[in-house]
């Protein structure tokens, strides 16, 4: 699986049967079944018990499924055992501060995979950075285990930890640091450099999505279906951008076929990096078009 091409992740409580049943209509690149913040403490055991049926429903629709586990010692191992299921592609590990924590979870997943009859390392880890203490260990976290497929940035908890609000001004630096660590290791990276709670202010959320994209983020975390549509609209290339990208790719391919390495298009010199950027634009346009919801959110 290419985690850099997911685009949007939509959180759904693991025990929200109606939301799970309609998840395939939301147009998200992946669904996150949440056992952590979206579940009240008194309901966590019951939500874990419904996880298998929720995964099965999503898998029937061919969706990419991720499970966010709790990271406290009382629940972590039970959550991991419950999440190791056919149809689950990765777990989201929240509040990661050290590489050793990721390695411990790697071992727990290996045991659960053997018990469950799944292939070794069939389930990845998305390590979420939510505390300034993790900033000192970013590269180590990104390289902690081959099971790490992505880093995430949890802006709300990060803001809480440093005693501020999750605004672009306060989150831009740590968000970009997480992106640099992830992309430097060839990993995907998900989140927004501001509050993920923005639902009704469409321009504000679209601005965060564009800023995340500019920082190198490969995916946007969404807590409401409306945000999925807003993120796709914010990141979708315009018709003009798609047309120019197509001209660039076609001209560059012709140039390479004729034995030349560069060519001018619309007054711009095109070499390998520019041609690859144009191909990325065409791929993004295709992916977003293919993910459009089948019914209104």
d(CA 9, CA 22): 15
Q: Is the pTM of this model over 0.75?
A: yes
Predicted local confidence at residue 292, as pLDDT = 58
Check whether 118 has a pLDDT greater than 60.
yes
For the chain, what's the residue count?
A: 297
Pick the range with the lowest mean pLDDT from 10-24, 124-138, 235-249: 235-249
Q: C-alpha 204: how far from its chain's center?
A: 20
Residue 250: Cβ within 10 Å count: 12
pLDDT of residue 290: 63
Number of C-beta neighbours around residue 252 at 10 A = 23
User: Going along 113-182, which residue ranges are E strands?
Assistant: 124-129, 148-153
If one compares 11 and 245, the residue with the highest pLDDT of the two is: 11
Known binding residues are 68, 130, 157
On the question of pLDDT at 262 being above 80, the answer is no
CA distances from 218 to 6, 57, 88 (A): 8, 26, 20
Q: What is residue 285's predicted lDDT score, i.e. its pLDDT?
A: 76
Q: How confident is the model at residue 185 (pLDDT cuts 50, 70, 90)?
A: very high
**Are the beta carbons of 222 and 195 closer than 8 angstroms?**
no
CATH architecture, range 3-235 = Alpha-Beta Barrel (3.20)
Domains of the chain by residue range = 3-235, 239-290
Rounded Cα gap, residues 257 and 250, in angstroms: 11
pLDDT tens for residues 33-87? 999 999 999 999 999 999 999 999 999 999 999 999 999 988 999 999 999 999 9
Looking only at the bridges linking them, the beta strands covering 148-153 and 124-129 are parallel
Binding residues for Mg(2+): 130, 157
Binding site for substrate: which residues? 68, 130
């Amino acid at each position: 699986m290419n985690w850099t091409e997911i685009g949007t992740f939509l959180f759904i409580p693991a025990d929200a049967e109606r939301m799970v049943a309609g998840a395939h209509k939301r147009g998200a690149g992946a669904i996150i079944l949440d056992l952590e913040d979206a579940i009240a403490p008194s309901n966590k055991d019951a939500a874990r018990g419904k996880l298998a049926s929720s995964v099965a429903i999503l898998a029937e629709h061919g969706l990419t499924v991720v499970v966010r586990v709790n990271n406290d010692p009382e629940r972590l191992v039970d959550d991991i055992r419950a999440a190791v299921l056919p149809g689950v592609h990765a777990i989201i590990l929240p509040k990661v501060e050290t590489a050793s924590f990721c390695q411990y979870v790697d071992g727990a997943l290996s045991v659960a995979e053997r018990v469950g009859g799944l292939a070794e390392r069939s389930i990845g880890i998305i390590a979420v950075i939510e505390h300034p203490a993790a900033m000192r260990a970013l590269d180590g976290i990104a390289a902690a285990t081959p099971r790490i497929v992505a880093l995430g940035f949890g802006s709300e908890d990060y803001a809480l930890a440093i005693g501020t609000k999750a605004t672009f001004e306060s989150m831009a630096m740590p968000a970009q640091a997480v992106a640099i660590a992830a992309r430097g290791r060839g990993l995907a990276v998900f989140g927004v450099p501001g509050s993920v709670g923005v639902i009704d202010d469409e321009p504000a959320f679209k601005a965060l999505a564009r800023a995340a994209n500019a920082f190198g983020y490969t995916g946007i975390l969404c807590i409401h279906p409306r945000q999925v549509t807003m993120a796709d609209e914010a990141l979708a290339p315009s018709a003009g951008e798609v047309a120019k990208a197509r001209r660039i790719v076609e001209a560059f391919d012709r140039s390479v076929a004729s034995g030349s390495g560069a060519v001018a298009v619309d007054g711009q010199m095109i070499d390998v990096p520019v041609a690859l950027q144009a191909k990325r634009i065409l791929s993004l346009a295709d992916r977003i078009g293919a993910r459009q919801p089948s019914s209104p959110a």
